[in-house]
Structure 1
Amino acid sequence: MDFSHSATAADYLGRVSDFVRTEIEPVEPEYHRALHASADPWTVLPVIGELKAKAQDQGLWNLFLPDTERGAGLSNVEYAPLAEQMGRSFIAPEVFNCNAPDTGNMEVLLQYGSPEQQEQWLAPLLRGEIRSAFCMTEPAVASSDATNMAATAVVKSDEIVINGRKWWSTGVGHPNCKFVIFMGLTDPEADRHRRHSMVLVPIDTEGVKVERMLSVFGHRDEPYGHGEVSFTDVRVPLSNVIAGPGRGFEIAQGRLGPGRIHHCMRLIGLAERSLGLACARASQREAFGKPLANLGGNRERIAKARIAINQARLLVLHTAWLLDTEGLAGARSEVSQIKVAVPNMALEVIDMAIQLHGAAGLSEDFPLAAAYSGARSLRLADGPDEVHMGLVARHELAAYKNG
């Protein structure tokens, strides 16, 4: 294993880091103030378009895609440090057209989409002209098991008819969200991994209704948001099914490997930013005649945070290397390991930073409360800890199955 940056990756890393530091971080505080003060926070402020245009002009666009024609052609190991830099900012992923769930949806369309689907939906996503959402999780069933999904997508002649309710559909609140990928039950009698289908559904199709936008610890994540969406006798052409009926579970599993690398590396960037804020606060603030860094066990807490971040980063890079060299089949345990380890690490680091900031850490004056909300959400998104630890344990115990 060699985690040193290739010349191409090093060039991208330097340019992305510089762009985040000089173009995004200086305007982000005012961006959030303006968005939250707006009468309609579900809008795209002009600064986002300006930053996206600059990023695209500099070739910092679709960096997550390993496809050399449509993206930067980087491996998972090469892209990982770029995702970490983007994770330092709440808006950077969209600025570089590398934000979830669009990244996962683009990967699905690139790998499984028909030429017509790619022309209609993938091309404008790649250009950053539209946004999308992913409708999988349901309020009525335990959605950590993808085969549980009960909302239906039934083939009727040359159409597919969709009924059901989804929630935590990230991105559905964005004003430029034009379609969702819907996972529904097509054949309840088939093998449990061949029962479901993924369908492209334009958001303005009759019968699609965003019932409400959900909050996480009071944060609504505008303008992207997490919505509860109902589908009532929604009819779309059969050609909107991705890769054909019954392949939903297969697509869902293939979608999650690189996506979890992206999530975890962005979260490491957020942990790094939180640690930086903690160190600045501990060095500049005094109590009882001493800098906060010299009170209690704060030096040890800072040291442990540094160690934990570095450990997590190496685990994610190792997983990225396995995905590059062996594919998802050779990295399933490691993908689950990072999904448990990184959000838990980030929560500890962010919590420590909040504590050093005192009451200010709970306010909107610092990004820590929103960071904590995001990190806590990720312990459930793409599967809760318990599911991933079950997979890791099953992998470990497999060698001992004969006693």
Structure 2
Amino acid sequence: MEFIFSEKVKELQAQVTLFMNERIYPSESVYREQLYAGTDRWSAVPPIIEELKREAKEQGLWNLFLPDERYGAGLTNFEYAPLCEIMGRSAIAPEVFNCNAPDTGNMEVLAKYGSEEQKQKWLLPLLEGRIRSAFAMTEPDVASSDATNIRSSIRREGHHYILNGRKWWTSGAGDPRCKVFIFMGKSNPDGPRHEQQSMILVPADAEGITVERMLPVFGYDDAPHGHAEITFRDVRVPAENMIWGEGKGFAIAQGRLGPGRIHHCMRLIGAAERALGLMCRRAAERETFGRKLSDHGVVLQWIADSRIEIEQARLLTLKAAHLMDTVGNKEAKAEIAMIKVVAPNVAAKVIDRTIQAFGGAGVSEDVPLAAMYAGARSLRIADGPDEVHSQQVGRMEMKKYMEKAGLSK
């Protein structure tokens, strides 16, 4: 494996970096001012976001995550990795480039499994950035790290399906532009374990949908995006809203979560890089006990450990992306699982050290570190907890050993 980027990718890296420096970073404070200017942060999106989106779109920095040239930039996972990493340095950047979760995963689902009608109605507006979406999978009453536990029901009734269930951590549901949910539930509870689930498109304004509350993450409510707990009571949707077919929900979920997981890892490396840059700047400028922070051995150790860990995480991310492109997501599942454990832990450690270097300022809103830490820590749970991925890696490693040793289990 040669981790060398093409001239096309290098040009895009330069373009995205320039846009970040000239437009994104200076707009972060503007975003916060606009967000808190109104009385209801859930009813409107800060205007700066739509302004930046228009500019990014005009520059061709749009839908870079989609490998299908009919819908996106036609970049491979490997080619997209350094661009996604740069976007991950700012909380507002992914949306500006129309590369933000959960829309990215939902667009990938529709592009790969959606009917032509579904693509026209939902995919195209998402690709154009005119609407947003949410993914209703996780449930409060079951351990959703095992998707087969899902209890929400999808019942056929003539030309419609009737949906019932309670979902939570439905990210994006608070956004006033959210117009559609992808809802996962059981359509055949008596079928084979991995063919009981289905996914279906649900208009956000469908009768029977109740947003019970918006869930904060370490105190951050992430308005206007948010993470909702939602009740679906006898929600009726047309049969043509079913994605791919009944019983395909688990397969769709596995296909959706592979790219989604690695995108999170790419962004986390970007967040860690920004944190390390902030730590170095702080170390160069701040004095304690008559010396610069950079003259204290412990701080230099924090900086060295952070650089080493980021490089390791980046290399594993690139390897996983390369394998996804060359042998497929299924064959790359070990590397995807490994990086999903490594990246959030590395990012959280680097950000934590930077918080320590900033002292009281580190836990304030004057710098982005506290919010970055909350995001990194939550991703040790989102898209599957560390323990599930580690167990998968352990099982695969044991299987290889047993086969090599000629042993049967």
Question: TM-score normalized by structure 2?
Answer: 0.97
2:319 is aligned to 318
CA–CA distance in structure 2, aligned partners of residues 47 and 37 of structure 1: 13
Q: Once superposed, which parts of structure 1, at least 4 consecutive aligned residues long, lie more than 6 Å away?
A: none
CA–CA distance in structure 2, aligned partners of residues 41 and 281 of structure 1: 32
CA–CA distance in structure 2, aligned partners of residues 30 and 287 of structure 1: 32
1:135 is aligned to 136
CA–CA distance in structure 1, aligned partners of residues 84 and 284 of structure 2: 28
Correspondence list, 1:235-254, <5 A? 235-254=236-255
8 Å CA contact retained: 2:34, 2:47: no
SS of 1:25 mapped into structure 2: helix
CA–CA distance in structure 2, aligned partners of residues 338 and 385 of structure 1: 10
Question: CA 1:355 to 1:37, structure 2 compared with 1: closer, same or farther past 3 Å?
Answer: farther
CA shift, 1:295, in A, is: 2.2
SS of 2:194 mapped into structure 1: coil
1:31 is aligned to 31
1:89 is aligned to 90
Correspondence list, 1:279-318, <5 A? 279-318=280-319
1:102 is aligned to 103
1:41 is aligned to 41
CA shift, 1:324, in A, is: 0.2
2:75 is aligned to 74
User: In the alignment, residue 149 of structure 1 is paired with which amino acid?
Assistant: I
CA shift, 1:258, in A, is: 1.3
SS of 1:118 mapped into structure 2: helix
SS of 1:160 mapped into structure 2: strand
- Cα deviation 1:228-257 (Å, max 9, x = unaligned): 010000000111010011100000000011
User: In the alignment, residue 224 of structure 2 is paired with which amino acid?
Assistant: P
8 Å CA contact retained: 2:168, 2:229: yes
CA shift, 1:294, in A, is: 1.6
Is 1:14 equivalent to 2:19 in the alignment? no
- Cα deviation 1:117-154 (Å, max 9, x = unaligned): 00000000000000000000000000000100001111
1:361 is aligned to 362
- Cα deviation 1:2-22 (Å, max 9, x = unaligned): 211112111111111111111
8 Å CA contact retained: 2:135, 2:183: yes
Is 1:183 equivalent to 2:184 in the alignment? yes
1:399 is aligned to 400
CA–CA distance in structure 2, aligned partners of residues 20 and 195 of structure 1: 44
SS of 1:268 mapped into structure 2: helix
User: In the alignment, residue 217 of structure 2 is paired with which amino acid?
Assistant: V
User: In the alignment, residue 398 of structure 1 is paired with which amino acid?
Assistant: K
SS of 2:219 mapped into structure 1: coil
SS of 2:222 mapped into structure 1: coil
8 Å CA contact retained: 2:269, 2:347: yes
Correspondence list, 1:121-132, <5 A? 121-132=122-133
User: In the alignment, residue 233 of structure 2 is paired with which amino acid?
Assistant: T
1:348 is aligned to 349
2:223 is aligned to 222
Structure 1 unmatched ranges of 5 or more: none
SS of 1:111 mapped into structure 2: helix
8 Å CA contact retained: 2:30, 2:48: no
SS of 1:217 mapped into structure 2: coil
SS of 1:141 mapped into structure 2: coil
RMSD value, Cα: 0.9
Percent sequence identity over aligned pairs: 58
1:374 is aligned to 375
CA shift, 1:37, in A, is: 4.2
- Cα deviation 1:293-322 (Å, max 9, x = unaligned): 222511011011001001100000000000
Is 1:149 equivalent to 2:150 in the alignment? yes
CA shift, 1:36, in A, is: 3.1
SS of 1:227 mapped into structure 2: strand
CA–CA distance in structure 1, aligned partners of residues 199 and 346 of structure 2: 33
CA–CA distance in structure 2, aligned partners of residues 176 and 93 of structure 1: 16
User: In the alignment, residue 227 of structure 1 is paired with which amino acid?
Assistant: A
CA–CA distance in structure 2, aligned partners of residues 302 and 188 of structure 1: 52
8 Å CA contact retained: 2:63, 2:99: yes
CA–CA distance in structure 2, aligned partners of residues 262 and 33 of structure 1: 28
